[in-house]
């Protein structure tokens, strides 16, 4: 499971933090390579977006964009982008997000993030039930039509 | 009737001269090119340094409240900007952060955009107090001026450089502009920055005037 965390420097000195699998990347060229990996997510499906949180996914790869509780030197909430490859288990993703964020001394709003993730999960479940229901109804109507046709 | 015919040859050059003067004045202000071509949607490229006012500018254009938070990379949907009887349709685009890492997006954004806005904090650029920090800011800013100048010149995309935070500049606007231009007078991009717009983006009148001026062209 590859994890890439990108966040702004708190002093607004143009330098960004890139943390890969829990290691802070110092090499600027390497950091740029990791950022380019995130650029590929521009075309991914957007599962959720509001003022605080954005979630995109592609199969089992996930991208989260949000803001930390911490603020920069001009009192703006600090952003982060978190890319996780090959794992869509949100409990695990959140656990790693917290660990990786500690590397740059940042804190996520866990309660709010969890609340949103649960909402997304519930919506997904509702959608899944809805699709299943439609499928069942379509199958039932097909069976009924066939039955009617045979009877004639 | 006869007198009308007599005056006509004189009248036409005067009108043409007048129209030419107005067009030259407005186009020169924004760097020698028409900004909004007649097309279905205009694509904006909003670039700049951190905390320079990119998101504030976009929020104003989109008529949405501005929230004090640092931007990573956010896609905005197409929107319309209404000015008097004019309706300007703006295409979808990205509001990107000002950190170094996002410089990787510049060339692609410049090539896809019809017009480029570049924001930087002129008060920070001219600040002589925090020397080390100031040198870094100016270096980073200059490297982006260079990149934008060379790319936009190649593909002839109009660009507007905007020096923000004028309210934090200790001197008056004319002196501030002069001081800034003096610092970059030997640089290749000087010609592009001669028409620099200086603005305090927290002043509603200034931002309204600026945007109206852009959209009247």
* ipTM for this model: 0.79
Q: In the structure encoding, which two tokens stand for residue B99, read together?
A: 């950190």
For A100, residues 6+ apart whose C-beta sits below 8 A from its C-beta are A3, A5, A19, A22, A82
Range of weakest confidence among B7-11, B115-119, B206-210: B7-11
Confidence band of A124 (pLDDT split at 50, 70, 90): confident
By CA distance, what is A80's nearest residue in B? Answer: B72
A39 shares contact with chain B (CB less than 8 Å): yes
| Tens-place pLDDT, residues B12-41 | 554 444 444 444 444 444 544 455 655 678
Q: In the structure encoding, which two tokens stand for residue B11, read together?
A: 């009248």
B105 shares contact with chain A (CB less than 8 Å): yes
- Whether B133 and A12 lie within 8 Å, measured CB to CB: no
By CA distance, what is B51's nearest residue in A? Answer: A12
Of the candidates B50, B104, B136, the beta carbon closest to that of A36 is on: B104
B37: burial class by Cβ within 10 Å (0-12, 13-18, 19+)? Answer: exposed
- Mutate one of A14, A54, A77 to test the B interface: name it (highest B CB count within 10 A): A14
Does residue B131 have a pLDDT over 80? Answer: no
Long-range contacts of B175-178 (CB under 8 A, 24+ apart): B176/B122, B176/B126
- Whether B99 and A9 lie within 8 Å, measured CB to CB: yes
Contact (CB, 8 A) for B87 and B80: yes
Full-model pTM? 0.81
Chain B nearest C-alpha distance from A8 (Å): 7
Residues of A in contact with B105 (CB under 8 A): 39
| Tens-place pLDDT, residues B69-81 | 888 898 999 999 8
Long-range contacts of B64-69 (CB under 8 A, 24+ apart): B67/A51, B68/A75, B68/A76, B68/A77, B69/A67, B69/A76, B69/A77, B69/A79
| Tens-place pLDDT, residues A6-63 | 999 998 888 899 999 999 999 999 999 999 999 989 999 999 999 899 999 999 999 9
- Whether B51 and A80 lie within 8 Å, measured CB to CB: no
| Tens-place pLDDT, residues A85-111 | 998 889 999 999 999 999 999 999 999
CA dist A48 and A26 (Å) reads: 32
Task: Say what the pLDDT of residue B6 is.
Answer: 43
Long-range contacts of B166-170 (CB under 8 A, 24+ apart): B166/B122, B166/B123, B166/B198, B166/B199, B166/B200, B167/B123, B167/B200, B167/B202, B167/B203, B168/B121, B168/B123, B169/B122, B169/B123, B169/B126
CA dist B139 and B144 (Å) reads: 9
A25 shares contact with chain B (CB less than 8 Å): no
Range of weakest confidence among B33-42, B87-96, B178-187: B33-42
Task: Say what the pLDDT of residue A44 is.
Answer: 94
Of the candidates A8, A28, A54, the beta carbon closest to that of B97 is on: A8
Task: Say what the pLDDT of residue B217 is.
Answer: 62
B44 shares contact with chain A (CB less than 8 Å): no
């Amino acid at each position: 499971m590859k994890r890439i965390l990108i966040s702004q420097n708190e002093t607004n000195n143009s330098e960004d933090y890139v943390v890969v699998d829990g290691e802070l990347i110092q090499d600027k060229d390497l950091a740029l390579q990791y950022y380019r990996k995130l650029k590929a997510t521009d075309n991914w499906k957007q599962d959720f977006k509001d003022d605080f949180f954005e979630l995109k996914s592609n199969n089992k790869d996930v991208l989260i964009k949000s803001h930390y509780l911490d603020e920069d030197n001009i009192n703006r909430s600090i952003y982060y982008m978190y890319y996780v490859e090959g794992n869509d288990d949100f409990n695990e993703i959140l656990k790693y997000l917290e660990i990786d964020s500690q590397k740059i001394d940042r804190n996520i709003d866990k309660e709010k993030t969890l609340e949103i993730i649960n909402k997304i999960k519930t919506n997904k479940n509702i959608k899944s039930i809805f699709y299943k229901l439609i499928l069942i109804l379509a199958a039932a109507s097909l069976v009924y039509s066939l039955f009617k046709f045979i009877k004639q | 009737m006869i007198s009308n015919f007599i005056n006509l040859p004189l009248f036409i050059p005067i009108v043409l001269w007048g129209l030419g003067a107005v067009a030259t004045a407005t186009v020169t202000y924004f760097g020698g090119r028409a900004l909004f071509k007649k097309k279905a949607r205009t694509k904006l490229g909003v670039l700049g340094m951190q905390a320079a006012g990119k998101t504030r500018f976009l929020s104003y254009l989109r008529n949405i409240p501005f929230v004090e938070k640092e931007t990573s990379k956010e896609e905005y949907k197409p929107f319309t900007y209404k000015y008097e009887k004019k309706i300007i349709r703006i295409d979808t685009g990205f509001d990107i952060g000002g950190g170094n890492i996002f410089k990787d997006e510049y060339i692609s954004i410049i090539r896809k955009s019809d017009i480029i806005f570049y924001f930087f904090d002129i008060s920070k650029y001219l600040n002589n107090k925090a020397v080390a920090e100031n040198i870094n800011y100016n270096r980073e800013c200059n490297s982006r001026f260079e990149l934008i100048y060379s790319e936009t010149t190649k593909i002839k995309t109009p660009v507007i450089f905007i020096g923000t935070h004028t309210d934090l500049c200790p001197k008056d606007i004319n002196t501030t502009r002069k001081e800034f231009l003096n610092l970059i007078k030997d640089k290749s991009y000087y010609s592009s920055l001669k028409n620099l717009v200086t603005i305090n983006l927290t002043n509603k009148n200034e931002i309204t005037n600026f945007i109206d001026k852009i959209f009247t062209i």
